[in-house]
Chain A
Amino acid sequence: MSKIKFHPSEELLVNYVSGQLNAALAVVVGTHLDMCPRCRSVVHDIEVHLATRELHQTSPMAEPELAAMLESILASEAPMVAPKSAPEENIILESKSFKVPPSLGRHASRMGPWSKMPGGLWRAPLELNADERMHLIYMQENASVPEHTHRGSEATLVLDGVFSDEHDEYRDGDFIFLDATQQHTPHTTDESCLTLAFLDAPLHFTSGVARLLNPFSSLFFR
């Protein structure tokens, strides 16, 4: 695998470790971690740091309370472990099959059907619950997404292939995080690209005919 150039910020990783992220964004970050040894090691350091900091102070607990809790734990039944099915290893789009990391594969059963959109794009929703969802977006060769800004932030992870925008080129494992002020025009050339994308607000198209799509943009990407 080629070297990953774009990584989540340390702040994002800290929020990931402390469990503060939207679950869908946590899946996108977790999938990047599966692909990126560098960030796995940063996350490990953050875990050590947070654990030391968060479990440093003690609260005075009354002795009878402590003893009662200890007794009830020792008498407790082992919690039931629901047998987990192994993560799905592949995601299928028409005749193509893509190998995906376990952090994404664990949620493959929540994936909705693919739908084809204008501009050589395919999209499938992946809903964790009513307000936490992400999308798999497949851009075929020579596809483009109209220029847009985001009302919220957008996180995109390249799972397979390559896409470009006016800033750079992004390949397998690259993680791109854009806030509401940044606009960009993603496109592919002679290679297609599968991405996992998280948006916390609908897109806002900024140029040309695509502006007419704005009233419907929530149908597009959310």
Chain B
Amino acid sequence: MQVMPEKRNTRQYMSTVRREPQEMTPEHLGQLLAEVAKSRSRIAFGELFRHFAPRLQSFATRQFGNEQTAMDLVQETMTNVWHKAHLFSPEKGSPTTWIFTIARNIRFDILRKNKHRQNDVSAEDLWPVLSEEMSDSDEEFALDKNILLQEIGEYYLQLPDAQREVVEQIYIEGKSQQEVSDTLGIPLGTVKSRTRLALQKLRELISEQN
């Protein structure tokens, strides 16, 4: 196939102007999400927001053809990102994919709400993205669903270092127990017992408080 020389030049030109001011790799975006999850970093969230808001706005405007509804989708999507960053897990996909699935669900629910029906299914019933249920098969290690990770935030700092490290990697970074074992170079059995002890301790701390 022949390529016209002018066309090739245009393409080269386009690619230089369109380059992003800062390299937003999936790794970098993932780190920002981890910082939001771990320390509620407003700076990290601000960076995520400035990257995703104009993209979500463009997506939503194409979907709804209405700028106000589009803004609502942006706000609702990014509100979920701010509060639920801990549910992101790098194994399941990139931050962009995760945020797209949140926006997809919110779009579905916005279209539903226009119909004003009670007892309708919500997008979360169809595509669970933000449900705080453990998809891990290690059921015995599942945290009580009613306990939000945010609540645990303060308590887990009181855990011994070795246990805290494991809890952090599993429940915040979303690693499997096997991966934690590989990362830390400790046996799987040790990861399991530290997790069990840590969760026991967390439950005690939480019930003492309430």
Contacts and interface: CB of A to CB of B under 8 A. Distances in A.
Contacts of A30: 126-127
Interface stretch (B7-15, B98-106, B200-208): B98-106
A84 B145 contact: yes
Nearest to A60: B54
A92 interface: no
B83 to A, nearest CB: 4
A27 B126 contact: yes
B126 A26 contact: yes
Interface stretch (B89-97, B168-176, B177-185): B89-97
Contact of B45 (A60, A74, A129): A74
Given A81-B132, A129-B121, A55 B99 contact: yes
A57 interface: yes
B88 interface: no
The range of chain B's interface size is 35 or more
Nearest to A69: B75
Given A55-B52, A69-B74, A70-B49, A84 B133 contact: yes
Contacts of A81: 132, 148
Contact of B79 (A48, A54, A66, A79): A79
A50 B63 CA distance: 14
Nearest to B60: A59
A49 to B, nearest CB: 9
A72 B75 contact: yes
Interface string A53-92: 0111111110001100110111010110101101000000
B150 A44 contact: no
Nearest to A87: B133
Given A19-B123, A84-B145, A56 B94 contact: no
A70 B100 contact: no
Contacts of A55: 52, 55-56, 58-59, 96, 99-100, 103
